[in-house]
């Protein structure tokens, strides 16, 4: 199999892995540059406080970026597998084994990871270099001979490749369930009752429970030492993994609730019914948006709470926290980049899932056109489906993000002098911005699939399906 054929259909995965590698590389290079600037400063160079906090923050950012990229890539691989079910079934009919086909997906994931990691690392290093030179030129950073390349830059590359291979393995597990008979008929998504897998549910609930306990433990430990943030980070990763694995437990109910609120016309009612009829597609779309919203909210709330803690500590001991502004500015810059990264992967995930959904439902959409639905009504229905998923996932993501952001700030800075426990700081514009931006992304993401759904005539759709 040629590289071109192996990478076919994996454009979204390559973009996500490249974005993750670029972000991780940028964070490490910026951290390395700031460490050099801090060491050269006569005020902050003798104190390890700022350097330790900066290093801890960098570790958190890189781990989170890799983890989130892995989730979105898993979703993308699952969508690719679902879009190829008829082809996979035909190959099974011709004698190919499910395990051989799954191994081919694993090879594809390795190629995707390697391509994305290489591209992202080059882009990240170039961006960080230009950013450093620009900040030094305007006086934000001192004029020094900065070293940009460091052995740690291999970590994002290795992490992204491992995450992508794991995502390919997890995302292609449905290959094992494809039967040769599916080559003879229209492949369908599993119904809701098929998604209630006892093993998956048990793992999800266990992961969420253990992760939440570790998150609480990290907050408590963070009141006495800075290493609490690593415990909280592990707890956040495990608990959010539980949320993603157990999404089938709460997504259908959430979409039904939102659907009842939006059932004002026939396209909206059909959109609600479609979400219930295709739970796997709806859940993938929900998770794709949920990841982005949770990430944006987490780091926005963490940064705001972080600022409140720093202000309190600086007022109590100004001399001890000289130079802390440098770290705060750097953290703000990285958070801004992370917000952009979150929006990118959320948009990619949503567009990919909507496109896959429309492609696999050509026969259904053709039948609706035959029964009298107009082109405009079909487009409205698809847009309403996306809007329902987006609204529900934004609300859940905001709630999760506030909890994770507050936990991160408390576990990182709870132990500093005059720190302690404070309420989460939620910027008043955050919720409005997420709703507006989320709705805008949803509308834009739904445009191409909606056009594609109505481009084919009803007769052609029924014949091709």
Q: Give 365-383 pLDDT, tens digit per residue.
A: 777 777 777 778 878 888 8
pLDDT in tens, 93-118: 788 787 888 888 888 888 888 998 89
CA distance 367 to 345: 33
The larger pLDDT score, comparing residue 230 to residue 6, is at 230
pLDDT in tens, 303-318: 888 888 777 766 666 6
| SS3 (DSSP) at 380 | helix
Q: Which of 202, 237, 205, 233 is nearest to 217 (CA)?
A: 233
Q: Which of 453, 353, 358, 364 is nearest to 81 (CA)?
A: 353
pLDDT in tens, 326-336: 556 666 766 77
Q: Which residues of 19-30 are buried (b: 16+ CB within 10 A; e: fewer)?
A: bbbbbbbbbbbb
Query: Terminus-to-terminus CA distance in the chain, angstroms?
Result: 27
| SS3 (DSSP) at 293 | helix
What is the model's pLDDT at position 192? 46
Point out the least confidently predicted range of 149-153, 263-267, 300-304. 263-267
Q: What is the mean pLDDT of residues 184-209?
A: 69
What is the model's pLDDT at position 193? 45
pLDDT higher than 60, residue 323: no
Residues whose CB is less than 8 angstroms from the CB of residue 341 and which lie 6 or more positions away in sequence, other chains included: 19, 20, 23, 65, 295
> Where in the chain are the domains?
1-187, 189-465
What is the model's pLDDT at position 464? 55
Mean pLDDT of the chain: 77
CA distance 151 to 388: 45
| C-beta separation of 252 from 273 below 8 A | no
What is the model's pLDDT at position 421? 79
- Specify whether the backbone of 444 is left (phi greater than 0), alpha (psi in -120 to 50) or beta: alpha
pLDDT higher than 80, residue 301: yes
pLDDT in tens, 37-74: 777 766 555 556 666 766 777 777 777 777 777 777 77
What is the model's pLDDT at position 415? 66
Q: How many CB atoms lie within 10 A of CB 233?
A: 24
Helix (H) / strand (E) containing 459: helix 458-464
CA distance 65 to 63: 6
pLDDT higher than 60, residue 189: no
Backbone phi, psi, residue 135, to 5°: -65, -35
| C-beta separation of 414 from 285 below 8 A | no
Give the global pTM: 0.77
What is the model's pLDDT at position 209? 95
| C-beta separation of 388 from 258 below 8 A | yes
pLDDT higher than 80, residue 294: yes
Which of 48-62, 113-127, 147-161 has the highest mean predicted lDDT (pLDDT)?
Answer: 113-127
Percent of the chain with pLDDT over 70: 75
| C-beta separation of 211 from 235 below 8 A | yes
């Amino acid at each position: 199999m040629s590289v071109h054929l192996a990478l076919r259909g994996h454009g979204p995965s390559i973009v996500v892995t490249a974005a993750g590698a670029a972000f991780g590389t940028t964070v490490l290079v910026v951290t390395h540059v700031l460490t050099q600037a801090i060491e050269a400063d006569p005020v902050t160079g003798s104190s390890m406080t700022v350097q330790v906090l900066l290093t801890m923050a960098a570790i958190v950012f890189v781990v989170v970026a890799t983890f989130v990229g892995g989730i979105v890539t898993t979703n993308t691989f699952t969508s690719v597998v679902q879009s190829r079910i008829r082809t996979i079934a035909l190959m099974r009919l011709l004698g190919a084994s499910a395990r051989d086909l799954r191994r081919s997906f694993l090879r594809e994931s390795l190629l995707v990871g390697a391509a994305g990691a290489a591209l992202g690392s080059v882009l990240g290093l170039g961006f960080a270099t230009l950013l450093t030179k620009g900040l030094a030129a305007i006086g934000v950073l001192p004029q020094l001979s900065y070293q940009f390349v460091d052995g740690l830059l291999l970590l994002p590359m290795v992490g992204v490749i491992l995450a992508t291979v794991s995502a390919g393995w997890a995302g292609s597990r449905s290959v094992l369930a494809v039967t040769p008979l599916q080559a003879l008929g229209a492949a369908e998504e599993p119904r809701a009752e098929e998604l209630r897998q006892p093993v998956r549910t048990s793992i999800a609930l266990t992961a969420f429970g253990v992760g939440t306990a570790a998150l609480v433990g990290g907050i408590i430990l963070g009141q006495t030492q800075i290493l609490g943030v690593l415990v909280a980070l592990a707890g956040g990763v495990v608990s959010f993994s539980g949320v993603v694995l157990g999404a089938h437990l709460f997504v259908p109910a959430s979409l039904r609730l939102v659907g009842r609120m939006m059932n004002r016309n026939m396209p909206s009612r059909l959109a609600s019914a479609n979400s219930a009829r295709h739970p796997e597609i709806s859940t993938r779309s929900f998770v794709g948006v949920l990841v982005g919203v949770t990430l944006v909210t987490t780091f926005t709330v963490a940064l705001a709470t972080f600022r409140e803690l720093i202000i309190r500590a600086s007022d109590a001991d100004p001399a001890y926290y000289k130079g802390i502004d440098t770290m705060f500015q750097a953290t703000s810059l990285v958070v801004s980049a992370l917000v952009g990264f979150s929006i990118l992967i959320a948009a990619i995930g949503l567009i990919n899932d909507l496109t896959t959904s429309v492609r696999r439902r050509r026969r259904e959409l053709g039948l609706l056109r035959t029964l009298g639905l107009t082109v405009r009504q079909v487009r409205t229905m698809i847009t309403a489906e996306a809007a329902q998923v987006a609204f529900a996932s934004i609300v859940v993501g905001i709630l999760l993000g506030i909890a994770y952001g507050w936990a991160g700030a408390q576990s990182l800075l709870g132990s500093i002098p005059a720190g302690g426990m404070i309420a989460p700081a939620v910027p008043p514009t955050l919720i409005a911005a997420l709703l507006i931006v989320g709705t805008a992304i949803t509308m834009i993401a739904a445009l191409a699939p909606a056009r594609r759904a109505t481009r084919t005539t009803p007769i052609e759709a029924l014949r091709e399906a």
